[in-house]
Amino acid sequence: MTPPETRAAGQSPIAAAGSPAVSVCLKVLRNRADFLRAARGLRKPMPGFLLQARKRVPDEAPDHVIRVGYTCSRKVGNAVARNRAKRRLREIARVCLPVSGHPGWDYVLVGRPMATANQPFADLLTDLKTALAIIHQKQK
């Protein structure tokens, strides 16, 4: 059985980004220790967010899984602004990580005040693709 194709006419920024119909398994980071380990890893600041990434050790989680976490401090704004920023971070991760992320890695997207919630969505997508390319280029 083949996966359904994305529609060509009237493409949204998500479809233009080339999101696959079938994605890699993304797991959400929930433990504070995982966030702290990612904070000690590689970092790439971008205009809309900060990307923290690290390669996991083999016994931590399955190698075929990409784990991702999202965080926004109170500097981003009130609860409404933080939730909006996290929703946008979740969506760019859902679109970009299956394509540009590497299995066996943890990623944390940190929201920025006055940027994550206000920046155009297409710019956030481009920023994440660029940040992932730079992070994985540094790692090699």
Q: What digits encode the pLDDT tens for the residues 113-129? A: 999 989 999 999 999 99
pLDDT of residue 18: 54
pLDDT at 58: 81
- Tens of pLDDT along the chain (140 residues) come to 455 555 555 555 555 555 555 456 788 999 999 999 999 999 999 999 999 999 988 888 777 889 999 999 999 999 999 999 999 999 999 999 999 999 989 999 999 999 998 999 999 999 999 999 999 987 66
Helix 79-100, helix 121-139: angle, nearest 10:
50
Q: Is residue 15 part of a domain?
A: no
Residue 6 is assigned to a structural domain of this protein: no
Instruction: Look at residue 2 and tell me if it is in a domain.
Output: no
Distance of CA 18 to the CA centre of its chain: 15
Query: What integer pLDDT is reported at residue 140 of this predicted model?
Result: 64
Closest CA to 69 of 57, 56, 51: 51
Domain total of the chain: 1
Does 33 map to a domain?
yes
What span, in angstroms and rounded, lies between the C-alpha atoms of 26 and 97? Answer: 8
- Position 28 in a domain: yes
Q: How far, in whole angstroms, is CA 68 from its chain's centroid?
A: 6
Asked if residue 9 belongs to a domain, the reply is no
pLDDT of residue 12: 54
Strands in the chain per DSSP E: 26-28, 42-45, 49-55, 66-71, 105-111
pLDDT at 31: 93
Residue 122 lies in a domain: yes
Predicted local distance difference test score (pLDDT) of residue 135: 93
CATH of the domain at 64: 3.30.230.10
Domain assignment present for 4: no
Q: What is the largest CA-CA distance in the chain?
A: 47
37: which 2 tokens?
A: 């380990």
Structural domain range at position 116: 21-139
Residue 98 to residues 21, 24, 64, Cα–Cα distance (Å): 10, 5, 11
